[in-house]
């Protein structure tokens, strides 16, 4: 199989680089601008606690440049607020076999959603017949064109993967099993750990609770001493999911599967404060953040259930404002963040 990585940021870039090192088929990376130029000219640089390597990958700057075949698997690794545009770009691309067009990507190719939040799978299933959710545990950073830093080793990331939706028949179910078994074997050779599950959304909702702190880190900085804000966002999120009857994987299950693999280590040459995906969006001055689909997902569910979610609503609002105003990561003092987010005592 050839993996087509749509979105070559921290997650997609790490997946592409490790597959480029270890998989039997060179991955295809969809990227744009200076990032695409750097990858095309010098290769994709991946730095980790154990290695610093440049990997040759094929690059396209638009879906129209890709010559898709039945052996391709699409891996969407954008942010959720960027996903709909990416899905529309790829869904109607022709798929070739024997020199002929045999259908479209949406009809024929598997689509993996390797990104935070729980909306991606619903968006993808409107357009792609076969969708596979991916819960991502991968502490990586993308701040410079052509370069990704992953902060764990020798394992580069842990993924929980499962079909979103129900196979239509036994043939469809068999295709699921073949795809997922092959993916697990190839990705594990590429230094990842892969767990296959039937209910992937149970794990993605658990990760959603963890990601509620992304806005806190982005607004006040990774080193900010605001445990009460993290705790309030998480506890409120758990209460909202419980009110909606949404079950999640337990912290104990996560510890069993992730364990010591997820201990951050120093990466040579990586200096200064470093944070997660929302922090990186502000640090790069991207002008937008994913928190409308993280904290905002809790707010959406709360409104559906007729309950309040003031902490997550405030974090969603402040992160969106910071991005729109071009404020850098860590622009709020801890006291200011507490005043904006926490209810009065």
Q: What CATH number does residue 234 fall under?
A: 1.10.1040.10
Q: In terms of domains, do 41 and 118 share one?
A: yes
Q: 326 pLDDT exceeds 90? A: yes
- CA nearest 116: which of 29, 250, 11, 193? 11
Residue-number span of the structural domain to which 230 is assigned: 204-341
Q: In terms of domains, do 193 and 255 share one?
A: no
Q: In terms of domains, do 132 and 153 share one?
A: yes
Q: In terms of domains, do 94 and 157 share one?
A: yes
pLDDT, average across residues 170-197: 95
Q: In terms of domains, do 329 and 219 share one?
A: yes
Q: In terms of domains, do 189 and 316 share one?
A: no
- Do 99 and 27 contact (CB within 8 A), yes or no? no
Among candidate residues 198, 220, 249, the one where a domain is terminated: 198
What is the Cα–Cα distance from 13 to 141, expressed in whole angstroms? 9
The 10s digit of each residue's pLDDT in 146-174 is: 999 999 999 999 999 999 999 999 999 99
φ, ψ at 275 (rounded to 5°): -130, -170
What is the Cα–Cα distance from 54 to 159, expressed in whole angstroms? 23
pLDDT at 200: 97
Q: In terms of domains, do 105 and 216 share one?
A: no
φ, ψ at 295 (rounded to 5°): -60, -35
Total number of domains in the chain: 2
> How does residue 183 score in pLDDT terms, banded at 50, 70 and 90?
very high
Q: Is the pTM of this model over 0.85?
A: yes
Q: In terms of domains, do 44 and 193 share one?
A: yes
Q: 345 pLDDT exceeds 80? A: no
> How does residue 197 score in pLDDT terms, banded at 50, 70 and 90?
very high
The 10s digit of each residue's pLDDT in 205-264 is: 999 999 999 999 999 999 899 999 999 999 999 999 999 999 999 999 998 888 888 888
Q: 271 pLDDT exceeds 90? A: no
What CATH number does the domain containing 124 carry?
Answer: 3.40.50.720
Among candidate residues 198, 214, 244, the one where a domain is terminated: 198
pLDDT, average across residues 275-304: 93
Q: In terms of domains, do 192 and 268 share one?
A: no
Q: In terms of domains, do 193 and 226 share one?
A: no
Q: In terms of domains, do 185 and 209 share one?
A: no
- Do 161 and 34 contact (CB within 8 A), yes or no? no
Q: Which is more confidently placed, 169 or 103?
A: 103
Among candidate residues 157, 174, 198, the one where a domain is terminated: 198
Q: In terms of domains, do 126 and 158 share one?
A: yes
Task: Identify the three-state secondary structure at position 192.
Answer: strand
**Residue 187, both tokens:** 């990705």
């Amino acid at each position: 199989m050839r993996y087509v990585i749509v979105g070559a940021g921290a997650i997609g870039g790490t997946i592409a680089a490790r597959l480029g090192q270890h998989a039997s088929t060179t991955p295809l990376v969809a990227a744009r601008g200076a990032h695409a130029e750097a990858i095309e000219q010098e290769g994709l640089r991946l730095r980790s606690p154990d290695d610093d390597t440049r990997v040759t990958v094929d690059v396209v700057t638009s879906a129209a440049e890709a010559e898709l075949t039945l052996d391709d698997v699409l891996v969407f690794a954008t942010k959720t607020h960027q996903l709909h545009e990416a899905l529309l770009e790829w869904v109607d691309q022709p798929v070739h076999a024997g020199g002929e067009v045999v259908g479209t990507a949406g009809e024929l190719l598997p689509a993996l959603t390797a990104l935070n939040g729980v909306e991606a799978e619903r968006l993808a299933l409107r357009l792609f017949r076969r969708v596979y959710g991916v819960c991502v545990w991968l502490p990586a950073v993308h701040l410079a064109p052509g370069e990704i830093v992953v902060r764990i080793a020798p394992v580069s990331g842990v993924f929980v993967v499962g079909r979103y939706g129900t196979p239509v028949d036994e043939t469809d179910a068999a295709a699921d099993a073949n795809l997922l078994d092959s993916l697990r074997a190839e990705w594990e050779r590429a230094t990842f750990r892969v767990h296959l599950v039937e209910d992937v959304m149970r794990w993605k909702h658990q990760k959603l609770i963890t990601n509620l702190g992304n806005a806190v880190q982005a607004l006040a900085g990774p080193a900010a001493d605001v445990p009460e804000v993290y705790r309030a966002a998480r506890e409120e999120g758990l209460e909202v999911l419980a009110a909606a009857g949404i079950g999640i994987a337990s912290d104990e299950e996560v510890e069993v599967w992730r364990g010591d693999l997820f201990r951050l280590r120093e990466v040579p040459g990586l200096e200064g404060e470093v944070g997660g995906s929302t922090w990186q969006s502000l640090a790069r001055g991207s002008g937008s953040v994913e928190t409308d689909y993280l904290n905002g997902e809790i707010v959406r569910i709360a409104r559906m259930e007729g309950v309040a979610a003031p902490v997550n609503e405030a974090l969603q609002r402040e992160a969106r404002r910071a991005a729109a105003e071009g404020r850098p990561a860590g622009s709020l003092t801890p006291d200011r963040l507490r005043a904006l987010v926490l209810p009065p005592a």
